[in-house]
Amino acid sequence: MIGSNISVMRQFQASIHLDFHRRTPIIPLNIKTSETAMTNLAENIKITPTGGPLGAEVRGVDFSAPVDNSTSSALNAAWSEHLVLLFRDQDISDAEHIAASALFGEPAVAASRSYHEKSGVLPGNDVVKHPEIAVISNLGPDGVPVMENDGLGSGEVVWHSDNSYIPTPPAGSFLRALEVPPKGGSTSFTNQYLAYETLPDDVKARIAGLYTKQDSTRNSAGVLRPGVTAPETLADVTGPDHPLVRLHSVTGRKALYLGRRRVFPSQFIIGWDRAESEDLLNFLWNHATQAKFEWGHDDWRPGDMLLWDNRCVMHHRDPHAGTHRRIMHRTQLGREKPIAA
């Protein structure tokens, strides 16, 4: 054992090249520092809650390195507890992004991609080798920032749950920042466990067993999807029916599941007349998006990654000026049919 250690030390010393104009040795990059070696160990992960009704920052994780089962379990437990997780300084490839997503659920192709493929338009003005990666950008065809495009542009993205317009929405979404504007474009999240739990008892009883039609015609920035005709009546609204109250498949907790809503005609309650449906949905949306349920990430940096739980969280993006590039890559994972509570 001693001879082996001496041999390793000699190899290490031989690999160090001294620069005689400086006092410190230059160590080759293929020799890991002790800090790197300690990365991704469950016992070294630090989880710091935001202090708000949801969200936590996770430190000690590098998704460019392997993640073992104990660390994966710790991260999933943190996700269940905090609903939104922030990872900073993730300098990773798209393939590594997909691998990181697989720690939390099976990566899926973005539902919006099918609309672009059917119409012959590539999503996000970009060609991506990995179909699991969706490009969220504000670039036009010439690479110049614009206010409106197929990649959610630079404007406001209203409160919504990702892909609620398909029968099996993703359990989670994982967003990675590549380029961000100097200001604007904050992403906010709202806790739909709390939104449900704080409803008056009579409202809980009223909405039990109700389903809503989820509008699939427009994206979350209000842009009509490629190849789709705008609805003129409720009968024209296409999309699945989902329960208003959803049972979380992991935690077993109840959450409001509003999904998405645009200008009328859009979301409506199945079996109700228009006036009653609009009144109740107005109440629920106003209740669910109160500031007391919300936390926002307002200091995006390149390398930031946000993971959120679509089963119990909605999110929103503030607009920005559209004069600077904003490019994000997103994965979605763990598609499942919403369980009625």
In the chain, the domains with their CATH numbers are 110-340 (3.60.130.10)
- What contacts 10, CB < 8 A, 6 or more positions away? none
Reading the block at residue 125, the tokens are: 């003005």
Residues 330/128, Cβ–Cβ less than 8 Å: no
Q: What is the pLDDT of residues 174-187, one digit of tens each?
A: 999 999 999 889 99
- What contacts 13, CB < 8 A, 6 or more positions away? none
- Confidence label for 152 from pLDDT (cuts 50, 70 and 90): confident
Of 4 and 169, the structure prediction assigns the larger pLDDT to 169
| Nearest alpha carbon to residue 330 among 88, 111, 47, 17 | 111
Q: What is the pLDDT of residues 269-292, one digit of tens each?
A: 999 999 999 999 999 999 999 999
Only one residue has tokens 């906010």, namely 188
Largest CA distance in the chain: 84
Q: What is the pLDDT of residue 117?
A: 62
Residues 95/122, Cβ–Cβ less than 8 Å: no
For residue 236, give the 3-state DSSP assignment: helix
Q: What is the pLDDT of residue 289?
A: 98
| Nearest alpha carbon to residue 341 among 243, 250, 272 | 243
Q: What is the pLDDT of residues 190-225, one digit of tens each?
A: 999 999 999 999 999 999 999 999 988 887 667 787
pLDDT for 311 beyond 60: yes
Classify strands 170-179 and 245-247 as parallel, antiparallel or unpaired. unpaired
Round the CA-based radius of gyration of the chain to a whole number and report it.
23
Distances (CA, A) of 37 to 33, 61, 62, 281: 6, 11, 11, 52
- What contacts 9, CB < 8 A, 6 or more positions away? none
Residues 291/300, Cβ–Cβ less than 8 Å: no
- What contacts 271, CB < 8 A, 6 or more positions away? none
Reading the block at residue 149, the tokens are: 């495009």
Q: What percent of the chain has pLDDT over 90?
A: 62
Q: What is the pLDDT of residue 220?
A: 67
Overall average pLDDT of the 306-323 stretch: 94
- Confidence label for 147 from pLDDT (cuts 50, 70 and 90): confident
DSSP bridge partners of 296: 188
| Nearest alpha carbon to residue 164 among 339, 330, 337 | 337
Overall average pLDDT of the 67-75 stretch: 97
Burial class (CB in 10 A: 0-12, 13-18, 19+), 102: middle
**pTM of this prediction exceeds 0.75:** yes
Q: What is the pLDDT of residue 103?
A: 98
pLDDT for 88 beyond 90: yes
